[in-house]
């Protein structure tokens, strides 16, 4: 039987794998970005995402909702703090 020689992955393949890993890591990172918000504000955001938007906690769409609303809440809070 003849052995099939193993090919080394090309540089483009390695770059694609690294880029895909970085993209996945970047997508996963935002879910914890609301740790700086007050518990009352987090409860408001959870209410909006779960009850108003009808998204299930733990679902990727729920997490996306929380991230987006968290960003908006931080901007609103900063705007209120400025004179």
H/E/C letters for each residue in 4-66?
CCCCCCCHHHHHHHHHHHHHHHHHHHHHHHHHHCCHHHHHHHHHHHHHHCCCCCCCHHHHHHH
User: pLDDT tens track of the chain, all 83 residues?
Assistant: 666 666 655 666 656 666 666 555 555 544 457 888 999 999 999 999 999 999 999 999 999 999 999 999 999 888 888 76
Q: What's the whole-model pTM score?
A: 0.58
Task: Please tell me the predicted confidence (pLDDT) of residue 29.
Answer: 47
- Angle (CA) 36-54-27 rounded to 5° is 45
Q: In the chain, where are the structural domains located?
A: 35-83
């Amino acid at each position: 039987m003849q052995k099939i020689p193993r090919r080394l992955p090309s540089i483009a393949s390695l770059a694609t794998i690294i880029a895909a890993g970085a993209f996945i890591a970047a997508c996963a990172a935002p879910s914890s970005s609301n740790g700086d918000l007050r518990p009352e504000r987090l409860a408001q955001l959870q209410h909006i995402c779960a009850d108003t938007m009808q998204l299930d906690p733990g679902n990727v769409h729920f997490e996306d909702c929380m991230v987006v609303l968290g960003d908006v809440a931080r901007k609103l809070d900063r705007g209120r703090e400025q004179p």
